[in-house]
Every structure is written in C-alpha cells, then in structure tokens.
Amino acid sequence: MSTADKQIPRPAELDLEFFQAATSTGELHVQKCADCSDHHHPPRLYCPRCFSDRYVFEKVSGRGTVYSYTVSHFTTEKAWKDEVPWATIVVQLDEGPRLVGTARGIDPGAIRIGLPVRVVTETVTDDFAYLWVEADAGAEPEKTGNERAEEAR
Amino acid sequence: MTASTSGHPLSGRAAIVGIGETGYVRGADETVLEMVLGASMAAIRDAGLTPADIDGILPPPGFVAWDEIAAHLGIPDVRYTSTPQMGGASPTAALTTAMMAIASGVAETILVPIGWNGYSALRPRPDAKPSKRRFSAAFFETVRNYYGPYGLRSAPWWYSLYLQRYVELYDVPPEAPGAVAVAARKHAQLRPNALMHGRAMTMDDYLASPYITEPLRKFDCCVETDCAAAVVVTSAERARDLPHRPVLLLGGAEGHANPAHELTNRADVLDLGLSRAAPRAFEMAGVTARDMDFLQIYDCFTHVVLLQLEALGLAERGGAPDLVKGGALELGGAYPLNTAGGMLSQGHCWGLNLVVEAARQLRHDAGDAQVHGAELGLVTGYGDLGDGSIVILGRG
C-alpha cells in the first residue's frame, strides 16, 4: 500500500503547523500546551484545559493502542479500489491525544481494541505527512485486546 | 389535548400548523430550488395561510438560502432569519429557534424548509438542469486533513471510526442494527411516497447485505434521495384559528459533543450531542422518553439510532440491543420508530421528513401507520460530527 494517487490535502493555519512539525523533522509531533503541558489533537489556538494561547509541537514516540478502527470493504474512490479491505485505526497515543491513520502490515481481521501499535509518519509534501499505523513489536503483550476492552467497560 | 405541564416559559407557546413534502426520489424532475419552494408552498397552504403571513425563515446551511425563498415566494416582510450550523441536525434545531422567536414576539409565523439533491448531486440525470447546489461546513477542514487522506471520504466512513468501538465494547449483535433497518423498511411499505415503498426487506436480507465499512453494512445506511420538506410554525394562540389540529412544541434543545469539530478526540466518543440535549428538552416539556407514543429518530445509520435510544434514556449504555428486540420498534411495539420509513427507507430529507411524519401522527392523520391515540412524540436530529437536536411534540 502506498500514498500514490491518494487525496493529498493542503492544510492551512494551525493544521499546517502540525504537519510541518512532522515533515521538517521526519518525526511525529503533537501540540502541547506551553503552560500546563496538556497534549491535544487536532491543534487548537487555546488550550482546552487551562485556556493558555502558548503552545509548542513536541516530538512524541507514536506509541499507543488501538482505540477504535474500521475495516473498509467498499469505496467510491479510484485510488482505494485496489486496497479493499483496508483498515483505518484510531490510535490512543500514550501522551493522550488520538490520531487516525492507515494500518500497515497488520491483518485487518486481527485488529482489536487495545492492540499495541505505533504511528509512523511519511513525508508526502512539504505541508503534509501521511500517518501509518503499524504493530508495535516492542510493546509488552501483557494484555490481549479483549482483556483491555473488558477493562474499558 | 396535551397541555404543557412543565411551567417552562417556552413550552407549548408555539405549534406546527402546516406541513409539506415532495416525493422521495432519485433523479428529480425539479431543481433543488423548485423542490424547496414547492414543499414550502404546500406547507403554507396546508396551514391555511399565504406567503404574506410568513415573517420568519429558518433554513439549514447550504443549498437554498432564506433570501431566495423570500424573493421567489413573494414574502414581503421577513422579520427574522437564522440558520443553525449543525448539518442534518439543523432542521430540528430550527424548531427550537422558532419556539424562542415566537414566544419572544420577534416573529409570529415561521417557515422551516429543507431541500437537496442528495442523490443527483453526484449522479445527475443526462437531461438534468445544471445545478450548483451544495453544502459546506467548517468541519470539512477536519475531514480533509485528518480523515480524507485515509480513504474516509463521507459519513459512513467517518462515523464507523467510533461506531466500531460501540459494537466491540458492548458486543452489539448485527440483529440490533438490523431491527432498526427492518422496522424502517416495514413502515415504508405504508407510505407510497417512500423511496423503498414496494421493496420489502427481511432480517435475512439485512444480514446478507455487504459491509461498506465495518460495522456498517449497506442496509445500515440511509437512502440518498432528492427531496424537500417544510413546516410552518406559529403561536399557539394563532394556531387555534387555523385548519388543522395544532401540534404543540412542548420542548426543544440542542447539544454538542466536546470537541464538536472532530470525532475521535472526545473523552467519550460514544457521548452524542443528543446525550446533552435530551435531558434539557424533557425538562422543558415536563415529560420523559417513556411517555412518548412514538419516536422519530434521525436514522442516517442504524447504529446511530441505537446510540440515540440510549442518549434518550430509554436504555443504559450498551442496552439498546436488548431494547429493540421482538419488534419493539415496529408499529404495535413499545417504541414505534420512524413510522413513515425514516431516512433509511422513506428518504433522506435532513430529518425534516421525520418532523412532517410526527405532525401527521399527532393530527391523527397518519393512515395505516397511525399510532392509535398518539398524544406525545419526539423527533431527534443528528448532524455533522455528532451534533444533536430534539423536539418534544404534543397533540394540541
């Protein structure tokens, strides 16, 4: 799977800062409040926790777990017709925010809530980085996805 | 007659007095503007009024704006206009705005219209008149940057990002959303204007329908249609002099998940705008969900209906699948749902078709789909990335 022929956005304003933090370094960055250190995504001009307008984009590990996901079996988009079934994962980052990206190297049928994963960026243009979600081989498989889902109830 | 018992200053002060709708079709003969004007004139005439009586217009965002409607219908003196920015939740939210405008005296008789080319915008007939009618919203920027690049281009793909969590955490069996789809299809057989009239669907048909994007199957998704609908709202006093039994607006509210502009970063992604709106509306009306004789629930997708049943307080989180068992959502069941077929089987008219049907039920004019002795009902709206709206209606 690649990003070829896919819809590539041209982000603006604060969203552009999020993507440029990744494209300029090759590494995932997330907005962090410069006053209370809360992370958020998508980025916002005022911190929803302490209402500060001071922020930085901070490098994060990309590590987290599957929070939710969808396996798509149908598309109206030409660029995706050869990809079905593909999986999109909502990743709960260890730092707090959640990110959406395409599963890579994970069997769509094996995805469950709680599975350890890692978000990896791919620079597509100066202004946009694609987010891939891969299995996190380095994570401790201490709990199965179902066990974590049970806890979430 | 259902009088307001809550003592809330807005409750029972305004009433729906006119309803209008087009057919629900794929490939309409009319333009969107013509459909909107047709449904609006039908609603105004149904109320026994003329366009000169209308002094407020509350259209949803996009497609047709209030000034075009005023100009084409010859409405001479518009005193109030506003547009809720809530996608499909907008028409039902506009009814609460109408309650406020009428009770405060800002306007007296308000038109709430909607119309669109939900089918033909993307698939125009070869002989179709050119149209530029479309919808845009601020959250589209979220979609463009954070969902679209991953092949998630429209509502089923966006919403599946949280609906799959609901299904997995609460072991929602496919028969639960299936019960929503089957009830809607059954009710559509009683409405000749429904797109799916004459096309029966069983639970087996539902279970055999292919996945679009998990957990959504084809038959979990509403039907894209070209259509328009409109209602006229006026003061409860004036309503008494008009031809039809008034349908009183007893309660209304809107609510929004936090943040409203992005789906996946909410503390609880299953917390809909309706979770916040419903208690406010019930309090205003002085009733509970269990007092309702029927439910008209915004059924863009079946799983979203299940979550709304929970948001209304009819079931605990994860409890909707039990609630909908045994035909509970069908006419004759405990919670008759979307008695004209809803957006799943009548047509997607941004939920205003649900309002039109609720008014018919409370006039006792719903024909074979009539809920016997209906005195109270509700309509919900769900739009954009989970905005919620609700009105509680009573037979006047």
Interval A53-83: pLDDT, tens: 999 999 999 999 999 999 999 999 999 999 9
| Beta bridge pairs of residue A30 | A58
> Given this model, what pLDDT does residue A124 score?
97
Kindly give, in sequence order, each residue whose CB lies less than 8 Å from that of residue B365, ignoring residues fewer than 6 positions away. none
Contacts of B215 in chain A (CB under 8 A): 70
> Given this model, what pLDDT does residue A151 score?
58
Contacts of B261 in chain A (CB under 8 A): 42
- For residue A144, pLDDT over 60 is answered with no
Among candidates B152, B210, B213 on the partner chain, residue whose Cβ is nearest the Cβ of A71: B213
The reply to whether B9 falls in a domain is no
User: What is the nearest CA distance from B84 to chain A, expressed in angstroms?
Assistant: 23
Burial of A107 (0-12, 13-18, 19+ CB in 10 A): exposed
CB–CB contacts below 8 A, A to B: 112
Structurally, chain B folds into a number of domains equal to 1
The alpha carbon of residue A127 and the mean position of all alpha carbons in its chain are separated, in whole angstroms, by 17
The reply to whether B132 falls in a domain is no
Identify the CATH number of the domain in which residue B173 sits: 3.40.47.10
Segments forming the whole domain that contains residue B73: 14-126+137-395
Tens digits of residue pLDDT in B28-86: 999 999 999 999 999 999 999 999 999 999 999 989 999 999 999 999 999 999 999 99
| Mean predicted confidence (pLDDT) in B228-236 | 98
Among candidates B144, B153, B169 on the partner chain, residue whose Cβ is nearest the Cβ of A153: B169
Lowest mean per-residue pLDDT among A135-139, B137-141, B281-285, B388-392: A135-139
Tens digits of residue pLDDT in B167-195: 999 999 999 999 999 999 999 999 999 99
The reply to whether B7 falls in a domain is no
User: What is the nearest CA distance from A80 to chain B, expressed in angstroms?
Assistant: 7
- Better pLDDT: B349 or B130: B349
User: What is the nearest CA distance from A1 to chain B, expressed in angstroms?
Assistant: 11
Q: Is the dihedral of CA B38, B43, B46, B51 positive or negative?
A: negative
Dihedral, CA atoms, B201, B327, B170, B212, nearest 10 degrees? 10
ipTM reported for the complex surpasses 0.85: yes
Contacts of A74 in chain B (CB under 8 A): 210-213
Answer whether A42 sits within 8 Å of B262, measured CB to CB.
Answer: yes
> Given this model, what pLDDT does residue A31 score?
98
Tens digits of residue pLDDT in B192-210: 999 999 999 999 999 999 9
- For residue A137, pLDDT over 60 is answered with yes
**Alpha carbon distance A121, A129 (integer Å):** 6
**CA-atom Rg of chain A in angstroms:** 16
User: What is the nearest CA distance from A69 to chain B, expressed in angstroms?
Assistant: 5
Answer whether A70 sits within 8 Å of B160, measured CB to CB.
Answer: yes
> Given this model, what pLDDT does residue B115 score?
96
The reply to whether B5 falls in a domain is no
Mutate to test the interface with A, among B147, B171, B264, B266 (most CBs of A within 10 A): B264
Tens digits of residue pLDDT in B299-353: 999 999 999 999 999 999 999 999 999 999 999 999 999 999 999 999 999 999 9
List residues in chain B touching A: CB distance below 8 A.
Answer: 141-142, 144-153, 157, 160-165, 168-170, 210-215, 258-259, 261-262, 264-265, 269, 318
> Given this model, what pLDDT does residue B130 score?
80
Answer whether A72 sits within 8 Å of B145, measured CB to CB.
Answer: no
> Given this model, what pLDDT does residue B137 score?
85
> Given this model, what pLDDT does residue A145 score?
47
Q: What percent of chain A has pLDDT over 90?
A: 84
> Given this model, what pLDDT does residue B261 score?
94
Among candidates A15, A73, A102 on the partner chain, residue whose Cβ is nearest the Cβ of B150: A102
Which pair of tokens denotes residue A44? 């916002």
Among candidates B157, B259, B318 on the partner chain, residue whose Cβ is nearest the Cβ of A72: B157
**Alpha carbon distance B158, B168 (integer Å):** 17
| Mean predicted confidence (pLDDT) in B363-379 | 98
The reply to whether B3 falls in a domain is no
Answer whether B214 sits within 8 Å of A71, measured CB to CB.
Answer: yes
| Beta bridge pairs of residue B301 | B221
> Given this model, what pLDDT does residue A143 score?
52
Mean pLDDT of chain B: 96
User: What is the nearest CA distance from B283 to chain A, expressed in angstroms?
Assistant: 29
Dihedral, CA atoms, B345, B222, B378, B99, nearest 10 degrees? -120
- For residue A147, pLDDT over 80 is answered with no
**Alpha carbon distance B396, B394 (integer Å):** 6
Among candidates A12, A44, A77 on the partner chain, residue whose Cβ is nearest the Cβ of B151: A77
Secondary structure (H, E, C), chain A: CCCCCCCCCCCCHHHHHHHHHHHCCCCCEEEEECCCCCEECCCCCCCCCCCCCCEEEEECCCEEEEEEEEEECCCCCHHHHHHCCEEEEEEEECCCCEEEEEECCCCHHHCCCCCEEEEEEEEEECCEEEEEEEECCCCCCCCCHHHHHHHHC
User: What is the nearest CA distance from B178 to chain A, expressed in angstroms?
Assistant: 19
> Given this model, what pLDDT does residue A140 score?
60
> Given this model, what pLDDT does residue B6 score?
87
Residue of A nearest to B145 (CA): A9
The reply to whether B318 falls in a domain is yes
Q: What percent of chain A has pLDDT over 70?
A: 90
- For residue A153, pLDDT over 70 is answered with no
